[in-house]
Structure 1
Amino acid sequence: MITTQPTPQMLAAWKQLWLQYRDKLWPNRKSGTELLHYLREKYELTESRKASTLNIVRENILENQFYAQKLPRGRRPEPKAFFVENEGNGCVLYAAAEKEVALWQGRRERIFVGLDTVTGFFMVEGSSLLWDELYAFRGLDAQDLENYVCVAEYIACMQRFSLPMQSVSG
């Protein structure tokens, strides 16, 4: 998860990483439904059906050209929203979030996940660990592979979890 304003040096390093890996990666992006299934299987979730919350997820897609392009023609986002509970596997996320107090501006809240089952877009508040986990799990599509920031972020997430790069190389 990118948590600071990128510097020119960071952008240059990401571009170098993209050049290093671009011929070794292929589209492996999972669907939004697969992402939802993964979350439900791994974490205790409480679903939020509040219209305002679902609208935030929806608008994050529609108001961002990069994400909006991932919507199939004629389809609208189908957002879901959840709070990850501080139990089971969620305990690890909450323990890690305690170390990220500055990132979340000192607020100790529940971990929120919004996702779209159509595009696979997701957003996380309260846990960079969960964001990185979901990004590594979801993978990249052909459009993402042309974006050096997406590729560098994906590689960083894979490395954070010590996932083998051969699982994504040709």
Structure 2
Amino acid sequence: MKKMPEGKINIDTQEVSQQKVREWKAVYEKYRSTLNVNAKSILELVEYLKQKYTLKEEASEEFKNVVINNIKLNKPFSKKIPSNKELKPIVFTIQNEGKAKTLYENQEEVYSGCSIVVGMEFETGCVFVEGSSELADEITTFKGLDEDDINNYYLLANYVRCIKKYNLIDE
């Protein structure tokens, strides 16, 4: 994986404004009763990605540990870890060819020149995308919401934002 160039990393550590939280909660209140659990499995997501893009599986333990740590260090995700189960991550880089060329051409400046990486975990269903907000939105739309996600106002609001972006729900 190509490392992000020095000087391009700009981590925004500001707290989320109360206005933004109110907006997410308003979206949650408006749409929660109309949405159903519709989460696709990691296997379904892998097949979807393989049909659209050329994937290269990354066998590196470093990649897999990043996925595991993202789950363990994030409270809503860590709740999804089944007891007595070992986490099973899988990581792919999206190759810059075919339909993925558009993703790479439209990368945010901070990711310019970096590979697009998708990390997934089979036991929790968690998915992480690095390098492309567009692909992150596409995956959010395809994957749907599980029983936990649908009751999380931020995750539901983000899902609604994504399905609106692709005109899959009426205002």
| Same topology, TM > 0.5 | yes
| Counterpart mapping for 1:1-170 below 5 A | 5=14, 6-97=16-107, 100-101=108-109, 104=110, 107-164=112-169
Offset at residue 165 of structure 1 (A): 5.3
Give the drift of 1:141: 1.4
**Following superposition, which runs of at least 4 residues in structure 1 exceed 3 angstroms of deviation?**
none
Quick check: 129-138 or 69-78, which moved more? 69-78
Percent identity of paired positions between Structure 1 and Structure 2? 36
Measure, in 1, the Cα distance between the counterparts of 2:164 and 2:105: 20
Please give the alpha-carbon distance, in whole angstroms, between the structure 2 residues aligned to 1:91 and 1:118. 31
81 and 66 in structure 1: CA distance in 2 versus 1, 3 angstrom threshold? same
Q: What is the count of residue pairs matched by the alignment?
A: 159
- Residue 148 of structure 2 aligns to a residue in which SS? helix
Partners of 1:121 and 1:30 lie apart in 2 by 11
Unaligned runs of 5+ in 1: none
Cα distance in 1, alignment partners of residues 73 and 34 from structure 2 = 32
- More displaced 10-residue stretch of structure 1: 3-12 or 128-137: 3-12
CA offset at residue 18 of structure 1?
0.6
How far apart in 2 are the matches of 1:72 and 1:147? 19
Query: Cα distance, 1:62 vs. partner?
Result: 2.1
Post-superposition shift, 1:117?
2.0
Aligned counterparts of 2:129 and 2:76: Cα–Cα separation in 1: 18
Name the structure, 1 or 2, with higher relative contact order (CA <8 Å, separation 6+): 1
Q: Which amino acid aligns with 1:122?
A: V
Letter in 2 for 1:112: V
**Partner SS for 1:73:** coil
Counterpart residue type for residue 120 of structure 1: G
What is the RMSD computed on CA atoms of the aligned residues? Answer: 1.9
1:107-145 Cα distance to aligned partner (Å, 9 max, x none): 421111111122221111110000011111111112112
Unaligned runs of 5+ in 2: 1-10
How far did 1:164 drift? 3.3
